[in-house]
Amino acid sequence: MSSIMTNVSAMSALQTLRSINNDMSTTQDRISTGYRVGTAADNAAYWSIATTMRSDNSAISAVQDALGMGAAKVDVASAGMEAAIDVVTAIKAKYVAATEQGVDKTKVQEEITQLKEQLVSIAKGASFNGENWLLNDLSEADKTVVSGFVRNTDGTVQVETTAYTLAATNVLFESDAGTGGILGDVYALADLDATTDAAALKTALDTTELALKAMTASASTLGSLSSRIGMQEDFASKLSDALERGVGRLVDADMNEESTRLKALQTQQQLGIQALSIANSNSQNILSLFR
């Protein structure tokens, strides 16, 4: 039945054109933003997961910054400890040289005195951001460095830390006067003079040897901590990349697919407009019946 009041063909063509235009709008939005799921309305489940993972990735980025800060503290302390070991080794060699007959012990002592002062300088200089692990009065002995960020299976999150406790056995000095710590006894050794006997030299050698053992153990601990932080930094970087890729798989638009779909929809839109034009022309054709 032909009717001038109700054009069923035009209504159908218009509905089809509206659907095509809506699909085009969605496709164009995906192309312009790069996202297949940009809002919760697109896919609530994927959007929720992606939002949570992005939040976690931001936290991991902050953890990476904290790891860098912790690594710097440990590396400064480790470098200072290694430098101090070299100096104490040199002091030990001077005491060994002083045991030889005919050696001017006064001259040897002058060198030892300078080396002792160098130890204090090393301890003072081993500071990062106002924190010194080698020259410390132990009033705040517990030190921590961030070592990770974890999301538990129950949905809660936590930041993991690694503890390093300062003690008289792993700081060089407890004061800038050269007292306490590993090297307090070395710094306090009596000066050599022409009459220094073998027993006094043996005490000096034993003291420096004990200090070297303690320093070596401390340097080893610092090295292990530095290595762990380094591995955690590498893991955090890889984890961040993996999360980014995972989020991308959920919400990113496939640009090849979307561009192909857009071309198809543009063709459909042209055909829809033509179909609507044909449907609207049917009303004009009815007039010819009355001529």
pLDDT band at residue 86 under the 50/70/90 scheme: very high
Q: How many other CB atoms sit within 10 Å of the CB of residue 96?
A: 14
Residue type, 6: T
The pTM (predicted TM-score) of the whole model is 0.74
- Both 160 and 239 in one domain: the answer is yes
Looking at the structure, tell me whether residues 122 and 1 fall in a common domain: no
Radius of gyration of the chain from its Cα atoms, rounded to whole angstroms = 39
Q: Check residue 219 and give its pLDDT.
A: 95
pLDDT of residue 38: 79
Please report which confidence band the pLDDT of residue 285 belongs to, taking 50, 70 and 90 as the band edges. Answer: low
Residue 150 sits in the same domain as residue 288: no
The count of other CB atoms within 10 Å of the CB of residue 29 is 16
Q: pLDDT at residue 156 above 70?
A: no
Q: Are residues 25 and 67 in the same domain?
A: no
Res. 154: pLDDT tops 60: yes
With 0-12 CB in 10 A as exposed, 13-18 as middle and 19+ as buried, what is 129? exposed
User: How far apart (Å, rounded) are the C-alpha atoms in residues 118 and 173?
Assistant: 13
Give phi and psi for 200, each to the nearest 5: -65, -40
Cα–Cα distance for residue pair 80/122, rounded to 1 Å:
6
Same domain, 197 and 216: yes
The enclosing domain of 237 has a CATH number of 1.20.1330.10
Between the CA of residue 34 and those of 179, 213, 240, 241, 255, what are the distances in Å? Answer: 64, 60, 20, 18, 7
196 and 98 in a single domain? The answer is yes
What is the chain's mean pLDDT, rounded? 84
Give tens-digit pLDDT for 97-141: 998 888 888 999 999 999 999 999 999 999 998 899 999 999 988
Higher pLDDT, 289 or 42: 42
Query: Given a cut of 80, is residue 89 above it in pLDDT?
Result: yes
Residue range 27-45, pLDDT digits in tens: 777 777 777 787 788 788 8
Separation between Cα atoms, residue 183 and residue 172, nearest integer Å: 5
Lowest mean pLDDT among 54-58, 166-170, 185-189: 54-58
Output the CA torsion sign for 206, 208, 210, 216.
negative
Task: Please tell me whether residues 282 and 219 are part of one structural domain.
Answer: no
Residues 161 and 26 in one domain: no
- Other beta carbons within 10 angstroms of residue 196's beta carbon come to 19
Give the number of residues written for the chain: 291
Answer for the pair 85, 216: CB distance below 8 angstroms, yes or no. Answer: yes
> Do 77 and 101 share a structural domain?
yes
pLDDT tens figures, 244-278: 888 888 877 777 777 787 788 778 778 777 777 77
Total of domains in the chain: 2
Q: How far apart are CA 129 and CA 180, in angstroms?
A: 23
The H or E element that residue 161 is part of is strand 157-165
Task: Name which residue leads in pLDDT, 136 or 146.
Answer: 136
| pLDDT of 289 | 57
What share of the chain in percent tops pLDDT 70?
Answer: 90
Angle at 204 between CA 200 and CA 209, to 5 degrees: 145
Which residues form the domain of 162?
43-252
Q: What is the pLDDT of residue 116?
A: 96
Distance CA 76, CA 149 (A): 24
Tell whether 16 and 98 lie within a shared domain. no
* Pair (101, 118) in one structural domain: yes
Write out the DSSP string of 192-203.
P-TT--HHHHHH
Tokens of 38: 């940009």
Which pLDDT belongs to residue 8?
66
Using 50, 70 and 90 to split pLDDT, how confident is the model at 5?
Answer: low
200 in the same domain as 79: yes
